[in-house]
Amino acid sequence: MSDHPDEFVPGAHPGSVLARLAAPTAETETTLAVVADPHVSTRAEGTSKLFEHTEQHLRNAVADIRARDVDAACSVGDLTKDGEPWNYDAVAEILDPLEVPFYAVPGNHDVPKERDEHETPPVSEFAAEYAPGGDYPFRTTVGDVDLVGLNTAGTEDFLYDSHDGTLDPDRLDAVRETLAAADDPVVLTHYNLPAMADQLRAHRDAVEPEMAIPPVTRDGERFVETLAEGGTSLLLTGHLHLPSTASQGGVREVMVPTTCSFPQAYVTVTVGPGGTTIRFHPVTDRGGLRYAFSERSGDSVTARGLTAIASDRLASFPFVEE
């Protein structure tokens, strides 16, 4: 078999090393599969998100995860195009073959927004399906890893009129208590450290002056301080549809690439006695990657800028060697 098969075969790609981190550690090796921004859509097509391919890309991710020895699977949000009930049904059907627990935090496209033209289920229903204990924040143990999930995308009452993200001020005490109860927590959120948005601004200022910056994390300083005070050992995020890493206030973030658009992939996070290894796993073949690159880079100035950043990041593996 070729080292780079033209046909997608679940489990065939060994996974490119995205980062090797000194922390977190675990007494026994524990592996998480993490999916970001599938944007599953059964009734739309086109755009740089390749809506007509979103179901297949997530199916491929599930098949690939099943072919690997993982202890749990997770999502950092945007499971659906825009929270449509029929798309949630499709997500449930696609995830059904998983033989390990699946945990998720919502993204801005999973929660009710004032522009929705359909009845988006409340966040309480999302939590009942994907959060241990049926609420956010959540804490659960996978192997020897303490996993914490935070809702930064809002609810039907909070951030309803915005696609920015932040921690709900009314839930800050619960977030702090959840982090304090965890041991070197691995944290799932949809939204990113402010330092990650700074990377986009640097690219815009140097290369693409008309590029827009996607919705950002509000109250970024408070966000960083809360995570740092809670001893966050690793923050896993999505939202910006590209692999990257940043460090701010002592918090290390790894942004998980999207399965929907270039560069269609998910990551595995393996935590062991010697530290953590994060691997990048494509969910399409080389032709699919080329097609997605062409569609995304030609979609808009902003999409072109994000594609350029993603391409630069792919050429920079591993991001970190500690």
Tens digits of pLDDT across the chain (322 residues): 344 446 899 999 889 999 999 999 999 999 999 999 999 999 999 899 999 999 999 999 999 999 999 999 999 999 999 999 999 999 999 999 999 999 999 999 999 999 999 999 999 999 999 999 999 999 999 999 999 999 999 999 999 999 999 999 999 999 999 999 999 999 999 999 999 999 999 999 999 999 999 999 999 999 999 999 999 999 999 999 999 999 999 999 999 999 999 999 999 999 999 999 999 999 999 999 999 999 999 999 999 999 999 999 999 999 999 9
Q: Is cis: bond before 85, omega within 30 of 0?
A: no
C-alpha distances in Å from residue 107, one per residue of 42, 152, 201: 18, 8, 22
Helix (H, G, I), strand (E, B), or coil: what is residue 197?
Answer: helix
* Strand pairing report for 251-255 and 234-237: parallel
Three-state secondary-structure class, residue 307: helix
Look at residues 139, 231, 142, 121 and name the one whose alpha carbon lies nearest to residue 188: 139
Closest CA to 54 of 30, 76, 78: 78
- Cβ–Cβ under 8 Å, residues 47 and 322: no
31 forms bridges with which residues in the sheet? 270
- The CA distance from 308 to 57, in Å, is 21
Domains assigned to the chain: 16-321 (3.60.21.10)
The order of strands in the sheet holding 72-75 is 102-104, 72-75, 30-35, 265-272, 275-282, 16-21, 320-321
What DSSP state is assigned to residue 169? G
Q: Distance of alpha carbon 87 from its chain centroid, rounded?
A: 18
